[in-house]
C-alpha cells in the first residue's frame, strides 16, 4: 500500500513542481521520492525481520528492522537537506508561481492521501511494534506537515505577492523533518547498542515479578506456612540481575530467580513458566530467559520458616 501511494504522489508532485516552479512543491516531490525509497526498504526488511531464528541468527532477525529504521531516518535528514537547498536556490533566483490552482489542488490531494497512509501505517506499527513501520508512518506524517506548510505558502504568496514566502516555508518544513528524524535516529541507535528498555517497562517487569519490596521474602514464607499447597509462583524468594534490550519488535528479558533450594526441578520449571507467561501477556513479542538459583544458607529468615528444613529436623 505504502509503495503504491508514495509512487503516485511522487510522480504527481514532480510534474506539478516542474510546471509551477515552486520550491515548496519541489521540496514535497523530493520528500515523496525519498518516502518511496523508505517504503521499498520497509517492505523488504519487515519480511526479513519477521523470519524465525536460525543457526546463523539464534536471536532472530530483529536488528534488520532496526537498521532499516535507522536508514529511513537518515533518508529523512537527506530530504530536509534537499529542501533547504531548494529553498536557498529559490531565494537566490525568485520566480513567480505558475499554475497556482493546479499546485494547490495537488497539494490538497497529497495532504489527504498522506494523512490516510499515516493512519494506516501508525496503526500497523502500534499493533506489531515495528520500528520500520513507525518510521514509515513518520515519513507520511511529515508529508502532511509539509503539505500544510506549502499550502500556507501558496496562499500567502497569492495574497501578498511576496515570493520569499515559498523559500521560508521550505526552511520551516525542513526544520520540522530534521527534528523528527533526529529523534528516530536516537531510538534506532539505542536499539543497536542494546540499551535497556524504558524505565516504565522495567518497572512493569518488576511489578510482574513482585519482588521489588524488601519484605518480599517474609511475605512469601508466611504464605508457605499458611498453606502447604501454595501456588508455585509464591515460592519466589528473590529476583536480580535483570537485563533487557530490544531487537526490532522483540524484547529480550533475562534475570536470575532465587527459589527454595529444596524445590524439585519440576516445580522450579513451573515457576519459570508462570513468570514467562505473565511477562508475555504484557509484552507479547518478548523472549524471556530465566536463570534459577537455590536460596543461600546464610539467608536465615528463609531457612527458619522453610517447611522442608523443619521436616528434615524432625
For residue 290, name the pLDDT band (cuts at 50, 70, 90): very high
**Shared-domain flag, residues 103 and 226:** no
Claim to verify: residue 205 and residue 103 sit in the same structural domain:
no
> Mean pLDDT for the chain?
75
More reliable by pLDDT, 182 or 32:
182
Q: Which of 192, 218, 239 is the last residue of a domain?
A: 192
The mean-pLDDT minimum among 54-58, 137-141, 237-241, 274-278 falls in: 54-58
Q: Which of 131, 162, 192 is the last residue of a domain?
A: 192
Task: For the beta carbon of residue 252, count every other beta carbon within 10 angstroms.
Answer: 18
pLDDT band of residue 1 (cuts 50, 70, 90) is low
Q: Based on the fold, state whether residues 66 and 149 are members of the same structural domain.
A: yes
Question: What pLDDT is attached to residue 213?
Answer: 35
Q: Is the domain of 104 the same as that of 211?
A: no
Which pLDDT score, from 0 to 100, does residue 107 have?
Answer: 79
Q: What is the mean pLDDT of residues 45-59?
A: 73
CATH number at residue 134: 1.20.1510.10
Of 276 and 50, the structure prediction assigns the larger pLDDT to 276
What is the per-residue pLDDT for 95? Answer: 66
pLDDT score of 227 more than 50: no
Q: What is the pLDDT of residue 235?
A: 63
pLDDT of residue 97: 67
Same domain, 178 and 235: no
Higher pLDDT: 307 or 45? It is 45
Look at residue 228 and tell me whether its pLDDT is greater than 60: no
* pLDDT tens by residue, 128-152: 777 777 777 877 787 788 778 778 8
DSSP string, the chain: -HHHHHHHHHHHHHHHHHHHT-HHHHHHHHHHHHHHHHHHHHHHHHHHHTSPP-SS-TT-SHHHHHHHHHHHHHHHHHHHHHHHHHHHHHHHS--PPSSHHHHHHHHHHHHHHHHHHHHHHHHHHHHHT-HHHHHHHHHHHHHHHHHHHHHHHHHHHHHH--THHHHHHHHHHHHHHHHHHHHHHHHHHHHHTTPPPPHHHHHHHHHHHT--STTHHHHHHHHHHH-TT--GGGGEEEEEEEEEEEETTEEEEEEEEEE-TTS-HHHHHHHHHHHHHHHHHHSSSEEEEEEEEEPPTT-HHHHHS-HHHHHHH-
- Is this model's pTM higher than 0.85 or not? no
Range of the domain at 302: 199-313
100-114, 221-235, 244-258, 290-304: range with lowest mean pLDDT: 221-235
Per-residue confidence at 115, pLDDT binned at 50, 70, 90?
confident
Q: Is the pLDDT confidence value at 217 over 50?
A: no
Same domain, 204 and 187: no
172 and 47 share one domain: yes
Q: Is the pLDDT of residue 288 over 90?
A: yes
pLDDT of 88 above 70: yes
Looking at the structure, do residues 173 and 107 belong to the same domain, yes or no?
Answer: yes
Q: Do 289 and 234 belong to one domain?
A: yes
pLDDT (tens digit, 9 = 90+) per residue, 53-71?
Answer: 777 777 777 778 788 888 8
**Total domains in the fold of the chain:** 2
| Residues 230 and 170 grouped into a single domain | no
Residues 183 and 36 in one domain: yes
Which of 192, 223, 256 corresponds to the end of one domain? 192
CATH number of the domain bearing residue 277: 3.30.70.1350
Residues 143 and 290 in one domain: no
Query: Which of 94 and 172 is assigned the larger pLDDT?
Result: 172
Amino acid at each position: 500500500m505504502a509503495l503504491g501511494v508514495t509512487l503516485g504522489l511522487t510522480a504527481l508532485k514532480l510534474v506539478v513542481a516542474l510546471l509551477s516552479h515552486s520550491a515548496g512543491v519541489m521540496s514535497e516531490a523530493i520528500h515523496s521520492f525519498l518516502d518511496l525509497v523508505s517504503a521499498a526498504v520497509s517492505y523488504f526488511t519487515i519480511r526479513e525481520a519477521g523470519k524465525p531464528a536460525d543457526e546463523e541468527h539464534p536471536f532472530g532477525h530483529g536488528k534488520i528492522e532496526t537498521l532499516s529504521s535507522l536508514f529511513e531516518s537518515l533518508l529523512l535528514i537527506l530530504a530536509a537537506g534537499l529542501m533547504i537547498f531548494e529553498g536557498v536556490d529559490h531565494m537566490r533566483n525568485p520566480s513567480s508561481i505558475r499554475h497556482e490552482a493546479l499546485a494547490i489542488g495537488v497539494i490538497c490531494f497529497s495532504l489527504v492521501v498522506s494523512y490516510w497512509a499515516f493512519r494506516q501505517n501508525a496503526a500497523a506499527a502500534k499493533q506489531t511494534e515495528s520500528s520500520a513501520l513507525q518510521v514509515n508512518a513518520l515519513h507520511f506524517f511529515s508529508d502532511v506537515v509539509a503539505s500544510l506548510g506549502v499550502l500556507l505558502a501558496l496562499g500567502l504568496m497569492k495574497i501578498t505577492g511576496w515570493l520569499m514566502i515559498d523559500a521560508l516555508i521550505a526552511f520551516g518544513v525542513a526544520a520540522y523533518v530534521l527534528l523528527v528524524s533526529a529523534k528516530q535516529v536516537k531510538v534506532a541507535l539505542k536499539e543497536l547498542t542494546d540499551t535497556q528498555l524504558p524505565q516504565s517497562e522495567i518497572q512493569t517487569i518488576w511489578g510482574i515479578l513482585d519482588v521489588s519490596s524488601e519484605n518480599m521474602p517474609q511475605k512469601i514464607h508466611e504464605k508457605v506456612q499458611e498453606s502447604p499447597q501454595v501456588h508455585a509462583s509464591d515460592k519466589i524468594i528473590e529476583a536480580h540481575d535483570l537485563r533487557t534490550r530490544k531487537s526490532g519488535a522483540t524484547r529480550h528479558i533475562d534475570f536470575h530467580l532465587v527459589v527454595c533450594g529444596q524445590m524439585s526441578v519440576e516445580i522450579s520449571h513451573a515457576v519459570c513458566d508462570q513468570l514467562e507467561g505473565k511477562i508475555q501477556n504484557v509484552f507479547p513479542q518478548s523472549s524471556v530467559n530465566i536463570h534459577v538459583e537455590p536460596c543461600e544458607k546464610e539467608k536465615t529468615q528463609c531457612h527458619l520458616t522453610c517447611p522442608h528444613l523443619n521436616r528434615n529436623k524432625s
